[in-house]
Amino acid sequence: MKIELLEETTSTNDYIKRYLNGEENIIVSTKRQTGGKGTKGRSFLSGEGGVYLSALTFYKNFPAGDAFRVMAHAAVAVCKTAERFGVSPEIKWANDVFADGRKLAGILIENVFRGANLHASIVGIGLNAENDVSALGGIAVSLSELAGTSISADEARQALIEEYQQESSFEEYLARVRFLGRTVRVTEGEREYFATAREILGDGRLLIEEDGKLRALSAAEISIKT
């Protein structure tokens, strides 16, 4: 897989789209983003000291119904990276990695479908390494803080790229999801309620139990009830 390193760009997800007309898998990483993007159009703090990369992968005969496996693989790669440095992360459905109750990394995926198949995916990952996340008011944490020693962005980037290029299984994803069986706060649009998280299905939907009834969520925000 080709790797391209940049000093600065607006967003690695946007930058990497210039390669969509090709056929070569590529990872692009930058030291800083001036327009980092999170889910639902939110901005993503992208100061120097963090790892910001996007991976463009092309597929053949990849059923669209299995597209969640791309997200699962990215989350596992982030977790395995953190584990290399003695950090114990967990996956918060569907696209965040937490440690010590705070956000360690975010993942943003843009897929390109052709008919019933996934043609290509752009996987954007932002991982806090030694960047200052204090402006986020305690909701985020870095690898360095968790490990109790300085972990450079270069070290974390190299580890993440290595882990991303390894295969992973859906079972490895599930093993790092630790909120199942617990009460969670669910936000769907304007509605907020409590439910029990029961299972993550193979297509990525979250099975919840609300008032004794099971229902699968495709898109929502969850947090652990405190």
pLDDT confidence of residue 94: 81
Strand ranges in the chain using DSSP code E only, listed in sequence order: 2-9, 26-33, 51-58, 90-92, 96-99, 102-114, 117-127, 183-188, 191-200, 206-210, 213-217, 221-224
pLDDT computed for residue 95 by the predictor = 81
Structure tokens at 167: 């295969």
Residue ranges of domains in the chain, CATH in brackets? 2-175 (3.30.930.10), 183-224 (2.30.30.100)
Structure confidence at residue 137 (pLDDT):
79
Whole-prediction pTM value? 0.92
In the prediction, which pLDDT does 27 show?
A: 98
Which regions of the chain are under pLDDT 70? 37-46, 225-226
